[in-house]
Amino acid sequence: MTSDVTSLIPHRPPFLFVDEIVSETPEGLVARRTWRAEEDFYAGHYPGAPITPGVLLCEAVFQTGALFLARRATGTELGKGVPLLAKISDVRFRSPIYPGDTVVIEVKRKEEMGGFNLMSGSMKKADGTRVLTVDFAVAWKMPAGSAPSAS
């Protein structure tokens, strides 16, 4: 199902941390990710006792937020930009993630203000154990130096 994900957001391996979209509503989206033992970052974080870096767990939530916004923007001018993270707040880590763990990621849009989408995100292990919560803001923008497409 990665093709559904890569058709919506610009992220690609090795910096793609969402495997599939599980479900969506008008208010949010649920995705899934399995953390694979062969991923390069485990070699250095930490050798002999690998644990998934918290910043990558957060990135998986942010990418899920981008997927939600991309699904809402399909066919609009907004869909021609890229998601840019504008703010991160109140991140709380509750349980570590190890190679082989599968997580469920949920994002909900709280409000839109001035082109910014204020969102909340959470991650749980497949067994329901809470992993993290975070509030964040995303904007869709054309990257600097990019010309709008002629289509």
User: To 10 degrees, the CA torsion angle through 20, 122, 85, 81?
Assistant: 30
78 CB-side CA count, 13 A: 18
Give residue 5's pLDDT: 95
- Flag whether 151 is in a domain: no
Catalytic residue among 45, 71, 72, 125: 45
Give residue 151's pLDDT: 39
Number of domains in the chain: 1
- Flag whether 57 is in a domain: yes
Is residue 45 flagged as an active site residue?
yes
Contact criterion met (CB below 8 Å) for 5 and 18: yes
- Flag whether 31 is in a domain: yes
Domain CATH number, residue 45: 3.10.129.10
Q: What is the pLDDT of residues 77-126, one digit of tens each?
A: 555 678 899 999 999 999 999 999 999 999 999 999 988 999 999 999 99
Give residue 115's pLDDT: 85
pTM of the model: 0.90
Q: What is the pLDDT of residues 21-77, one digit of tens each?
A: 999 999 999 999 999 999 999 999 999 999 999 999 999 999 999 999 999 886 665
Averaged confidence pLDDT in the chain: 91
- Flag whether 65 is in a domain: yes
Residue 51 lies in domain = 2-141
- Flag whether 149 is in a domain: no
- Flag whether 87 is in a domain: yes
Cα–Cα distances in Å, from 105 out to 20, 43, 80, 146?
10, 24, 25, 31
- Flag whether 146 is in a domain: no
- Flag whether 136 is in a domain: yes
